[in-house]
Amino acid sequence: MIELKLPIDQIKVGDLIRVRPGEKIPVDGAIIEGESAIDESMVTGESMPVGKHKGDTVIGATMNKSGSFVYKATKVGKETMLSQIIKLVEEAQGSKAPIQRLADIISSYFVPIVIMLAISTFVGWYVFGPAGGLVLAMLNSIAVLIIACPCAMGLATPTAIMVGTGIGAEHGVLIKDAESLETAHKVKTIVFDKTGTLTKGKPEVTNLVILNEVKDLDDEVVVKKQKNATLDSSVVSLPQNDLLRIVASVEKNSEHPLGEAIVKKTEEEKLSLRKVEGFRSITGKGVEGIVNGKKVYVGKTLDSHPTGVQAQKLLNQGKTVVYVYVDEKLVGLIAIADTIKESAKEAVQILRDLGIEIFMITGDNKQTAEAIGKQLGIKKENVLAEVLPEEKEKKVKELKSKIQDLKSKIAFVGDGINDAPALAAADVGIAMGSGTDVAIDAAGITLVNKNLMSVVSTIQLSKQTMKTIKFNLFWAFAYNIVLIPVAMMGWISPILASGAMAISSISVVTNSLFLKKAKI
């Protein structure tokens, strides 16, 4: 392979690019060789470097902190994530919020009224003023026109929107339009999709249970009797390692997602696999193979065996239980689950503290859904289980119809193609940055950093932005209401009026910039 140094504009999709420690990643792509820790803070707002391995995606313009790797370019030029972020922010900053339209309507009436007041001022001073009233009439009427220039009114909303969308982008929250930013603070109900949103979307081994002793699988006792032993997979002792190794050796030949989770766990533990003979996949049941002369079966419980107390306990937690048999003797259990994201529970709790009703929607069975909901602190009656993909939009509309307060809004947070109709149906659609392009296109807000605390940040940012806009508008109106009569009475000259007008505009812009110091 010949390596060349090329300008970034000459990189094409499909090119292989080597990135060394301390270098910036030029374009978006997927790692095909090596691993590293990458600082993605400029895009996601996360301060900690993110570990990247073979198959993981990398984002252009982020910084490679340690490790050298080769990746394949998948998006270049205007198609990269950074370019799309810049485009979205520019579009959002150029869009108008509903409250801006109110200001525009008021301005459309305000301008002719001011012109009439200026004419009245001129006539009043010219007719009823002292001798030589023409000059005074001209000066005072001009002062009225200058002091009433609606610059502050016009700047009140767009300056705050521009700062707000910029702050959002810095924290990994992409706001596509000003209306979404304004509406977010009115949200009183949020519906979360489960898979890939509240959970990681990938099954992981969570528990290993050792039940019986088995000899001669690897010329040693690989599974020792441990009654009532349910160990978290993060603390794996020798017997658990051996059970995991045996099961993964058989599952290595399977393409089932649960089997992939078991194999992935052995890779994380850096365990070597055993030779398997006579592998067979039993449709709807599991897989089996011969390991060191012993028949190993991994899958659903055999008809002749009861479920068992420990297995039932794991099932009640919403986990999928894989049964391990050696020569038709049950020796262990492996629990697999789509684990909850680290930020999910905290985000749900804070949102509830803010007075927001939380719902979870999923196609999973009721038992699994309620177990996940319980872990997250979501009310049992707010867990919507066994919902088909095409029914999600219908459920969102039903919840909207039940909201009695017309000012209250509903938001939907999702990531999949099947979430797109629901994202569009909600008053505020929030898509996870790790989701599909269809979902991201249907949503008004995208969370690039995949952190659910960003949902909280979005609502708090909306509240702070609207607070700033309302203060700006109040200042603009109060300024005109107080100083227009002063100008009509001749107490302020055109020069002072122009200074006051400039100060009012500067104060509005400065107040909008203070939004950067707000905690979100």
Compute mean pLDDT per 10 residues along the chain, 520 residues long, and list them. 82 91 90 88 67 88 86 90 75 66 78 90 88 84 88 86 89 86 92 88 85 55 42 44 87 82 88 88 84 88 73 83 87 87 93 94 84 91 85 89 83 83 89 72 84 93 93 87 89 89 91 87
C-alpha closest to that of 437 among 457, 427, 423: 423
Q: What digits encode the pLDDT tens for the residues 6-38?
A: 888 889 999 999 998 888 899 999 999 998 888
Strand pairing report for 230-232 and 187-193: unpaired
Predicted pLDDT of residue 93? 60
Phi, psi of 52 (to 5 degrees): -125, 140
Maximum pairwise Cα distance, the chain: 120
**378 contacts: CB under 8 Å, gap ≥ 6:** 348, 358, 359, 360
Residue pair 189/354 in contact by the 8 Å Cβ criterion: no
Pairwise CA distance, residues 79 & 75, whole Å: 5
d(CA 288, CA 270): 23
Beta-bridge partners for 29 = 58, 73
Residues carrying an active site annotation: 193
Distance of CA 468 to the CA centre of its chain: 24
Question: Which amino acid is residue 49, in one-letter code?
Answer: P
Question: What was the pLDDT predicted at 223?
Answer: 42
Q: Using one digit for the tens of pLDDT, what is the confidence trace for 442-471?
A: 788 988 877 899 999 999 999 999 999 999
What whole-number distance in Å separates Cα of residue 440 and Cα of residue 446? Answer: 6
Distances (CA, A) of 378 to 153, 226, 337, 409: 43, 35, 18, 19
- Three-state DSSP at 520 gives coil
Q: What is the DSSP string of 102-120?
A: HHHHHHHHHHHHHHHHHHH
Q: Residue 88 and residue 75: Cα distance in Å, rounded?
A: 17
Take residue 491 and report the two structure tokens written for it.
């107490």
DSSP symbols for 1-21: -------GGG--TT-EEEE-T
Separation of alpha carbons 49 and 176, rounded Å? 27
Q: What is the DSSP letter of 54?
A: T
**Pair of tokens at residue 440:** 């991201």
pTM for the model: 0.72
